Every structure is written in structure tokens, then in C-alpha cells.
Structure 1
Amino acid sequence: MTHRVSELTVAESAWFKSSYSSGEGGECVEVAAHAATVLVRDSKRPTEASLCFTAETWAGFLRMTAEH
């Protein structure tokens, strides 16, 4: 399950760019771990809402992407 998170505050130092994002200024996704959740945001719009995934859902997503 995913949730839109707007009021959750995470330190900027907790965010890192996805290994799938290029360093050439294209579309970049940033990820941060917070408690038992994983947050995902658009690096070009860091102050807007992030998506929040349970650790279990995020792990399933990573397994699925690794298979393809």
C-alpha cells in the first residue's frame, strides 16, 4: 500500500538518488528510509509530497524490478 505523505519531515541528509537515476539532469528519484517506511520523491520537486511505502512493499518492488 502507498500513501501520499506531505507533513512527514525527513532530514535532507537521509535522501539519496536512486541508482537508476542518471547524473545528467534527467528524471531523478530520491529515496529515504524513515522508521518502518521508505519514502520516494521527485528530486526536481523535493518540497512537494512524497510517496510512502511499507518496507515489505518496497522490498517486493525491488525484487520485481531486479527480475526484469
Structure 2
Amino acid sequence: MKIVLNGETREITALTLSEMLVECGFSGRVATAVNEEFVPSSLRIAHELVDGDRVEVVAPMQGG
């Protein structure tokens, strides 16, 4: 299926948000939103993606 991940169109095989994070190489603590709605980490495994979803993944950065 095709999704938009952080502004770029991607073709993925994952069916859930949790699977997509693994497939796309995200690890550690990240925040996620699908179609501009925050998805807590506890709900990612059950959050099914559909063709055309807009997914944002952000990771905390250190520094100042």
C-alpha cells in the first residue's frame, strides 16, 4: 500500500502502525500521528493503516 511518511510517498507491506515503524527502520522512542491524529505507543500495534494514510513520525533530539 502507499502511504505518505513524513511528507514522502512510500510503498509499504506493513498493515499496522507498529509494523510500519519496524519496516521503515524506526527504533527507540518516537511520537506518531496518522492523518494528523496522535497515536500513543500503546495503540500502535492495533492501529491498522489504509492506502493513502498520512503518517508522521518524530524522534526527540538532544542538544541546545
Q: TM-score, normalised by structure 2?
A: 0.29
Structure of larger gyration radius: 1
Q: Which gives a bigger RCO, structure 1 or 2 (Cα 8 Å, sep 6+)?
A: 2
Q: TM-score, normalised by structure 1?
A: 0.28
